[in-house]
A and B are shown apart, each in its own frame.
Chain A
Amino acid sequence: MDGYRTGLARARGLGSAKHGAGHWIAERVSAIALAPLSLWAVWAALRLSRTGYHGALAWLGSPINAVLVAVLLVVGFWHMHAGLRVVIEDYIHAPFSKTALLLLNLAICVLGAGLGLFSVLKAAIGGSAY
């Protein structure tokens, strides 16, 4: 594989993302965290499909559940941002489209995680008001 690369490309050690291995490693670290979290999420979804509004509110009021949902949202959206970023960098080569899609990916992930986190806090802390 190295035989296909120019000497300069090998010396720089940069791929299509134009930076080093930090992004790659962080994607793996988040993947390892998401392995147990996603199994927990499926199990939780199975339970929550039967509880209704008050049951779900009580469930999210438990500190363990609230924190795990918050961590799932942050790590999940982080991993998604990293993953879709690689997909965009692989397939979209026009500079304007690529930049626009990368920014859109970032905006969706920040807004999704922000909305989810605020909602966890509101439902878990303010939930008893209903």
Chain B
Amino acid sequence: MTESSPGPAARPLSPHVLHWRWHLTMLCSILHRATGVALYVGALILAGWVAALATGPGAYAGYMEMLASPLGQLVLFGLTVSVFYHLASGIRHLVWDVGDGFDPKVADATGAACIAFALAAAVGVWAAALLGTR
């Protein structure tokens, strides 16, 4: 018999994501990724906006018309929620990076605060936008 078995010992595997009970910190983590991916589209829309502005008045009018359509407005509202959520959640992650805020009660409270902030700030910005155009 050899001294040690070849290869690494069998190590435990984490259960598949569908086997976990949903909880707030898990939702926050998934939302951070989802809003990050959404903002990927948002950055491409920003690049497209500058490109349309550089192309000329016709291209700019067409681009702004696209953004003003119901689908465009829905996407822009989603991006507004995403930017505020990803910002707040990102700051929460930076606090974790220095080693604070890991207590379950604190993590739940900061997670709920991020979601509430994102919704309130997005509604506030859109209220300002809609009242301003009147």
The chain A residues found within 8 Å of chain B, CB to CB, are 4, 6, 28, 31-32, 34-35, 38-39, 41-42, 46, 49-50, 53, 56-57, 60, 69, 72-73, 76-77, 80, 83-84, 87, 108, 112-113, 115-116, 118-120, 122-123, 126, 130
Contacts and interface: CB of A to CB of B under 8 A. Distances in A.
B106 interface: no
Nearest to A9: B8
Nearest to B8: A6
Interface stretch (B20-28, B31-39, B109-117): B31-39
Please report whether the interface of chain B is mostly helix, strand, loop or mixed according to DSSP: helix
17 contacts: A6-B8, A6-B11, A28-B94, A31-B93, A31-B94, A32-B94, A38-B83, A38-B87, A42-B80, A49-B129, A53-B57, A80-B40, A80-B43, A112-B43, A113-B47, A119-B51, A119-B54
A80 B47 CA distance: 13
Nearest to B39: A80
* Most central of B36, B46, B125 by chain A CB within 10 Å: B46
B125 A46 contact: yes
B104 interface: no
Contacts, number: 89
Nearest to B90: A31
Interface string B49-67: 0110111110011000000
A55 to B, nearest CB: 11
A116 B50 contact: yes
Given A76-B43, A77-B43, A118 B87 contact: no
Contact of A4 (B11, B47, B53): B11
A123 B132 contact: no
Contacts of B46: 41, 72-73, 76, 116
A39 B55 CA distance: 27
A76 B83 CA distance: 12
A115 B53 CA distance: 12
Contact of A46 (B12, B51, B91, B132): B132
Nearest to A6: B8
A56 B100 CA distance: 43
